[in-house]
Amino acid sequence: MRLFLVPLVAYVLVPLDHPAEPTERAMRIAFEQRLQVQVANVLEFLAETGGPAAVARVRDAGMDKFTVRTFKKLDCAPERDGFLCSFEVDMTLVTGPLEQKISGRFGPGPNGRLTFVQDT
């Protein structure tokens, strides 16, 4: 009887339908894609409110460009729809380097790829 209880307890305690914790590489890709979408949204807003000249000024100044130099996964905790993770990122912006610790939610997006939403 004891032999039967061990697998049953293990089955109940281990969630089988929870996705695997995201890798550092997958998190970095999701983070960079999120930044690209945000930049595109800002440029679209500028085009609507300030016209093509406003967009050209932003692009000429390089304000629409960024480079993620380093990305380090710190920790992740499972949540209902994914994982709450924290990471350190070192980026280069036109205004200079930016180092920051960020936390947010990583989960499956509508296209099946990992998505990132920053905590506020």
Q: Which of 120, 108, 114 is nearest to 23 (CA)?
A: 114
Q: Let me know if residue 46 belongs to a domain.
A: yes
- Find the DSSP H helices in 2-110: 2-13, 24-61
- Residue 9's pLDDT is what? 47
- Residue 118's pLDDT is what? 86
Average pLDDT, the chain: 87
Q: What is the CATH number of the domain that holds 38?
A: 3.10.450
Q: Let me know if residue 3 belongs to a domain.
A: no
Q: What residue numbers bound the domain in which 86 lies?
A: 22-118
Q: Which of 113, 119, 110, 104 is nearest to 73 (CA)?
A: 104
Q: Let me know if residue 16 belongs to a domain.
A: no
- Residue 101's pLDDT is what? 97
Residues in the chain where the model's pLDDT stays below 50: 1, 4-6, 8-12, 14
Q: State how many domains the chain has.
A: 1
- Residue 85's pLDDT is what? 97
Q: Let me know if residue 4 belongs to a domain.
A: no
pLDDT digits (tens, 9 = 90+) for 54-82: 999 999 999 999 999 999 999 999 998 89
- Residue 12's pLDDT is what? 46
Q: Let me know if residue 27 belongs to a domain.
A: yes
Backbone angles phi, psi at 109, to 5 degrees: -95, 180
Q: How many CA atoms lie within 13 A of 47 on its CB side?
A: 7
- Residue 10's pLDDT is what? 47
Q: To 5 degrees, how large is the angle CA 105–CA 71–CA 30?
A: 40
Which residues, 6 or more positions from 46, have their beta carbon under 8 angstroms from its beta carbon? 54, 55, 58
- Residue 11's pLDDT is what? 47
